[in-house]
Chain A
C-alpha cells in the first residue's frame, strides 16, 4: 500500500521556536508538496519540489522554508514559529505535477502557543 507518512500527528510548539515537519513517501514520486489547511480557506500551497534539491514557492511561502535532500523526504521548516502558523499541515506527492492524482499524508496539526 503506497504511502505518504508525516512524522507527527500533533505538535505543540512555542512562539519563536524553529519547527521541522517531516514527510516521507515510498512511491518514488518526483513531486512533493506542502499545504496548510484552515477552515474556510481550503488547501493553500506553501512550497513544492519537483526534484531532489529543487523547490519552488507556492502561494503562501512567507515564514516557511523547505528541504529535499533525498527523493523520498521533504521537510517543511518554520524558521520562527508564530501563532498565525497554527494550522493543519498536509504533505503530498505525485508522479506528475498536474496530470495525476496527489497522494496525501494524514496531516500534522501544529499548535503554536
Chain B
C-alpha cells in the first residue's frame, strides 16, 4: 500500500512534443506529491509538487495533473526540449512519513 507505481520506464519524445509520465498509488492518506528531475551525474532535484486540494499545477512547461478518485497523478512536459532529457521520479508522502519514490522514467527528447 506504500508503493508508488511509475510508468513508463523509458520514453522517447521528439523535440516539441508532449512528454507524459504517470504514477499511481494506493494509500489514500498520501497528501503530498512531488516530482524530481535527475540529470546524469547529478542528484535528483525537486521539480514541482502538488497537494490533493487542486487538480492541476503548472510551472512553465511542466504541469502536474492529479486525479484523486483514480489515485493517479502525472507529469506533462509541454514543448519538450533536448535539455529536458533526464530521469524523472514521482513520489508521495503522508503527514510525518518519509517520501515514497517511484522507480523512475528515463526521458530522451530527440532533436
Contacts and interface: CB of A to CB of B under 8 A. Distances in A.
Interface stretch (A11-19, A69-77, A79-87, A92-100): A92-100
Contact of A106 (B43, B49, B89, B93): B43
A43 to B, nearest CB: 5
Interface of B is mostly: loop
A29 B88 CA distance: 24
A90 B103 contact: no
A20 B77 CA distance: 39
Counting chain B residues whose Cβ lies within 8 A of the other chain, the interface size class is 20 to 34
Interface stretch (B12-20, B53-61, B64-72, B94-102): B94-102
Nearest to A102: B99
Interface of B: 6, 9, 31-32, 34, 36, 41-46, 49, 89, 93-99, 101-104
Given A101-B34, A107-B41, A107-B43, 15 more contacts: A33-B98, A43-B44, A45-B98, A97-B98, A98-B32, A98-B93, A98-B94, A98-B95, A99-B93, A99-B95, A102-B44, A104-B43, A104-B44, A105-B43, A106-B42
